[in-house]
Amino acid sequence: MAAYRPPVLPPSEITPQEIWLDRRRLLAGAVAAGLVAPAIASGKALAAPLEAAKGGYDPGEPLTPQKDVTSYNNFYEFGSGKSDPARNSGDFKPEPWALEVGGLVAKPKSFDLDALRGLGLEERVYRMRCVEAWSMVIPWIGLPISALLDQVEPLASAKYVAFETVVRPEEMSGQRGAFQPLDWPYVEGLRLDEARHPLAILAMGLYGETLPNQNGAPVRLVVPWKYGFKGAKSLVKITLTEKEPPSTWNLLAPHEYGFYANVNPEVDHPRWSQASERRIGAGGFFGSDRRPTLPFNGYAEEVASLYAGMDLRAKY
């Protein structure tokens, strides 16, 4: 994965964090009053405001500034540099959209974006840990994957959930040209019980707004106790399977990236330590905020029981 290059989005295109914080206070007030938060007018927004109820799980840590969340990430369909997704995703068209859900289910179904939003969006602040040893705290808006699975009724034989992302070379410059770093589509997988865990969501927004293209518009996976590469972006297909599905980074380098990819400070990446992480946007970009990495990224109390009796060194 490529080294850090400075963000390229002009500051004028980024919603100031203070505006979002004001919105967030408003949202909290509305929820406290027993109301679902209203859509909130934005100043200069990257994407449209999105209504959501308050979902809990806030770790209570300072948020990573919105400009960092939206300008420093990986999305190889738009290039392999950290600033490429923000720079190159302007032509991508996330609407209209169809997410096909099928495989070992009683009622396969295609969901458009309204149907997904109708399953109930919540705002949840999650600590996120990238395999490259940096981390962020992001206010996502999304729906529990289990709400979607309930709609299609998985069969008893379904043991895993496979995720597949979009292939559109005409809109995604990283899918064109002579050198392609990954095979497309980008694929990921979870065990069914992991996918059904209440912390696992399909995100459709962040910072009170519709998901920007570079963060995986219009709908992407977010699993906060796993390394960030599990968070497949721009999902077009979800398939319930009996066998463990393939995952992109595991196919590329199986000795470096496992299927489980649970955040684990005790199991180093073959080329670097996973014991600590750099919190982006806190104390500057260049390493002054380094903190210990927590087992399961701090969500052990919620998720460790999913892995009872498993050797987490072998199943990394």
Binding site residues, ligand MTE, CB under 6 A:
73-77, 130, 165, 186, 215, 228-229, 231-234
Shortest Å distance, C-beta 156 to ligand MTE: 30
Closer to ligand MTE by Cβ: residue 215 or 239: 215
| Residue that has been written with the tokens 């009622």 in this structure | 107
- Quick one: CA torsion of 142, 145, 148, 150, rounded to 10 degrees? -140
Shortest Å distance, C-beta 308 to ligand MTE: 27
Paired with 238 in beta bridges are 101, 163
Closer to ligand MTE by Cβ: residue 24 or 233: 233
- Hey, is 21 helix, strand or coil? helix
Q: In 52-130, which residue ranges form alpha helices assigned H by DSSP? A: 66-69, 84-88, 113-117
Which residue number places its CB atom closest to ligand MTE?
228
| Residue that has been written with the tokens 């497949």 in this structure | 232
Closer to ligand MTE by Cβ: residue 23 or 233: 233
Closer to ligand MTE by Cβ: residue 15 or 165: 165
Shortest Å distance, C-beta 150 to ligand MTE: 25
For the record, the structure tokens of 151 come out as: 């709609």
Phi, psi at 204, each rounded to 5°: -125, 0
Shortest Å distance, C-beta 160 to ligand MTE: 18
Q: Are strands 276-279 and 134-144 parallel, antiparallel or unpaired?
A: parallel
Other Cβ atoms less than 10 A from the Cβ of 264: the count is: 22
Closer to ligand MTE by Cβ: residue 72 or 104: 72
| Residue that has been written with the tokens 């400075």 in this structure | 6
Shortest Å distance, C-beta 220 to ligand MTE: 7
- 8 A C-beta contact, residue 47 and residue 267: no
Shortest Å distance, C-beta 213 to ligand MTE: 11
Closer to ligand MTE by Cβ: residue 111 or 229: 229
